[in-house]
Each structure stands twice: as C-alpha cells, then as structure tokens.
Amino acid sequence: MRRPQYLSPTSMTKWRRDPNLYYLKYLSDTPLPPDVQTQPMSVGSAFDAFVKSFLYEHLFGSPSKPGNDAAFSRDAIFEAQVQPHNRDWAMKAGEHCLNSYRHLGALDDLMLALGRSAGPPKFEMDIRGTVTMPRGGVVDTVPFRVKPDLHFVTEQGVRVIFDWKVNGYCSKAGHSPMQGFVQARRTGKLPWSHSEAKLHMHKGLVVNIAGGLEAYDEEWAQQCAIGAWVTGNEVGDNFVTMIHQLACRPSTGDVRPVITVAEHTSFVTPEYQQRVHADAARMWEAINSDWVFRDLSFDDSRALCDLLDQRKDTVVGVISPALED
C-alpha cells in the first residue's frame, strides 16, 4: 500500500465523501488513472489563469522581466492548468468570464485593494507546509499541500486568503450565488448584498458576520482554512476569507451565460478550524497505518483493501466523480 506525503483540501473531501474512492486513488498499489478534466473544471482553470496573469503583470510587470516569474505568463498558466482536449473551448469560455469580471468592476476593485496592501500580494500556486495543533494532551502534526489563488495583508494588518470560483457555466439550469455575499454585481442591476448577510466594517473590510464561511459552504471554508495555515496563520487565528464567485446562468439569445459576480467576505471560526485540523489528523493517522477504514474492525479493513485492489476496474464506475481544488 502506498503512503501519501501530504493532505490537500480535495483529498480530504474525497475521503469524507467516499473512502473507497480515496483508497483507490491515493493508497492502492494499483491506483486509478488521473482524473480527466471536464469542461466545468476547465473554464474555472482558464479564468483563473487569465485573471491571475492579468493581475501579476499589472502589479509586477511582465513575467518575462528579470526578477519576475515566467510561470505567471498567460500562456504558461493556461497550459499548466487546462488539459489539451479542453483548450480551444476553455480559451473562449475563460475570456468571457474575464471580460464579464472586468466589465462589472470587480477586477478594478480588487486591483485597488491589492495596490494598497502592506507588501506585495502573493500568488503562489502550490504550497506545502506542516501544521500542528494541541489536542487531548498530544500535538497533532499534519502535512498539507494547497493551491491558494492569492493571499495578502491589508494596510491595517488583516491577513486575507482570496479565491475565485466559477459555478454553473456549463449547466442548463445555471447556478445562483451562494448565500451570504456582501455584494453582488450583474449587468443592468445596481450592486446588492444578500438579504441574510449582516455587514460589519472590520479594519477597512466589509465582512459578513452573520456566520462563519462554514455556515454557507464547508468545503470552501476548509480550503481557505488550510490555505491560511500553510501561508503563516495558526489554527484558530483570525483571518478574512475573500471569495469572488462567478455564478453563471443561461442567456436567452446568447450562447454565453450571463454572469453574476458575488463577493463573499467572511471569517472561518476558530471552532471550525480546530475541527478541520482534528479531522485531518485522524485521517492522516488512518491512511498511514494498516487500519485504514476505522469504522470497520482491523481484519475487515484489511479485507476491504484487498477487495478494492482486486476489483478496482468494476467499482470505479459507481464511485463519486472527480473533484478539483
């Protein structure tokens, strides 16, 4: 059985949703092949590449400039993140997302905020770090790998973990913005906030304090918490999450969807952060032992591992689909 080197938000979600699939992808000596990127995945990756390269160039100059990172060029990020079979389609879809994001003013506002940050914003695309937390008289230590879109510190010293989400671009029904947004923008409509959001000015940032981010989407909160820890925060620290969600709906008479940009600015509560780390520690202990499936006896767990190794080709079709960080 293989042993992983780290946990990621995606692997933790797979483990929680379907431990059998996790075993087949990460632990089995005869692992499943890598996931094939779908069109919904590719449009998010294309938009991420375009907006990230745009911001990098406007903040730091051309990626080809001496001292800058050529990996942040538009083509380099796009080709690294979008698989070849999707590139022609994703190029156009990603451009539509970027143009909508700019037209609605969300990109300009973000650039102003980054221009006022204390120190240069950081665009690391792949970070690893070991995070510790005391629990029950012991110290849990878990290695993580995460891909935060962006993180920075405001003029007033607030640490911000920033992420983009693209939802519903390929859906016939479309996708509504997640609840709790502090501001949403759509062509032909004045900006508005969600009816249940409780807005509070926190050191220059308008934040929804009606509930932690986990009250709206636990997977978003988990991803942001891990990103915050690996970029320097302790478990339970006070940091702000900023998520710009592009919620897409079909448009009458246009093959391109109408996009609403919903801005979610909130906290991840210390209690939820502690729970995520404790869950990660239990997962890390299980997958690095010979007793993987702790809801079974030791012998039954070993038997299930053997069964999955032997029958992986028949079980993969009925296990949950791919996820993406």
Q: Long-range contact list for 99-106, CB < 8 A, 24+ apart?
A: 100/187, 100/246, 100/259, 100/261, 101/47, 101/51, 101/244, 101/246, 101/259, 101/261, 103/187, 104/185, 104/186, 104/187, 104/259, 104/261, 105/185, 106/185, 106/244, 106/261, 106/263
| Mean per-residue pLDDT over the chain, rounded | 92
Residue 311 has pLDDT above 80, yes or no: no
Neighbouring C-alpha atoms within 13 Å toward the C-beta of 2:
15
For 248-284, the pLDDT digits (tens) are: 999 776 678 999 999 999 999 999 999 999 999 999 9
- Look at the alpha carbons of 65, 68, 74, 75 in this order and tell me if their dihedral is positive or negative: positive
Q: Please give the model's pTM, rounded to 2 decimal places.
A: 0.92
Cβ–Cβ < 8 Å for 50, 94: yes
* Residues 155-167 pLDDT 10s: 999 999 999 999 9
- Report pLDDT for 321: 44
Question: What is the C-alpha separation between 65 and 59, in angstroms, rounded?
Answer: 12
**90-126 per-residue burial string, b: 16 or more CB within 10 A, e: under 16:** bbebbebbbebbeebebbeebeebbeebeeebebeee
Count of C-beta atoms within a 10 Å radius of residue 5:
8
Tokens of 80: 């690294």
82, two tokens: 């979008």
Residue 322, pLDDT > 60, answer: no
Measured distance CA(7)–CA(132) in Å, rounded: 13
Give me the pLDDT at residue 199, please.
98
SS3 92: helix
Q: List the structure tokens of 295.
A: 């809801």
Identify the three-state secondary structure at position 197.
coil
Strands 138-146 and 127-135: antiparallel
Q: Which of 121, 224, 268, 246 is nearest to 178 (CA)?
A: 246
Residue in 126, 98, 78 with CA at minimum distance from that of residue 227:
126
